[in-house]
Amino acid sequence: MRVHDDGVGGADPDGTGLHGLARRVAALDGRLEVDSPAGGGTTIRVEVPCA
């Protein structure tokens, strides 16, 4: 799954919201990536294995 916005960027991957999301994804043996450069949008990618 990929979610992108066109905001100002600068999301903190260690913030409580994204950290909680990362824990939930990890519980499913998945991977979460956050790309949020200052002055640009934020993109969150989630990969979760499925049978």
At 10 the three-state DSSP class reads: coil
Continuous segment of H or E residues that includes residue 22: helix 16-27
Look up the pTM and report it.
Answer: 0.83
Name the residue range of residue 43's domain: 2-47
Place of tokens 């909680």: 20
Place of tokens 């043996």: 29
CA distances from 4 to 11, 13, 23, 28 (A): 12, 15, 20, 22
- Residue scoring higher pLDDT (51 or 21): 21
At position 21, the amino acid (one-letter code) is L
Question: 15-43: per-residue pLDDT in tens?
Answer: 889 999 999 999 999 999 999 999 999 99
- How far apart (Å, rounded) are the C-alpha atoms in residues 22 and 14? 9
Looking at the structure of the chain, the number of domains it has is: 1
